[in-house]
Amino acid sequence: MPRGDKSSYTDKQKRKAAHIRDGYEARGVSHEEAESRAWATVNKESGGGNKSGSGRGKPDNHASSRKGGHISGSSQSHATRSAAAKKGWETRRRRAQA
């Protein structure tokens, strides 16, 4: 089977990849990059191509779907975090003098 062959994927996986790809394209990602990211997400969730049939394969892990669209790191803006750091520094400086 050559690289990039999608014949071992189930119809559900193909539909999922198409839906993810459309979401990326709607956000302005190029078609090729969106396609690549979509299949990477499907592979991460389901562990690659699955054979159809009852009781075959492993259940999907949807962690990457829940994570999608969220910004990692602090929920504070840079300005808010900076202001909090300055305030803390001033408090520590004041208490050290007393």
CA dihedral 28, 31, 33, 36 (to 10 degrees): 130
Q: Is the dihedral of CA 72, 74, 75, 77 positive or negative?
A: negative
Percent of the chain beyond pLDDT 90? 43
pLDDT of residue 38: 93
How does residue 33 score in pLDDT terms, banded at 50, 70 and 90? very high
Per-residue pLDDT tens over the stretch 44-65: 888 777 766 777 767 788 877 7
pLDDT of residue 25: 94
What is the average pLDDT across 27-34?
Answer: 94
Angle at 58 between CA 41 and CA 22, to 5 degrees: 25
For residues 50 and 89, which has the higher predicted lDDT (pLDDT)?
Answer: 89
What is the average pLDDT across 1-23?
Answer: 86
- What's the chain's average pLDDT? 84
Percent of the chain beyond pLDDT 70? 86
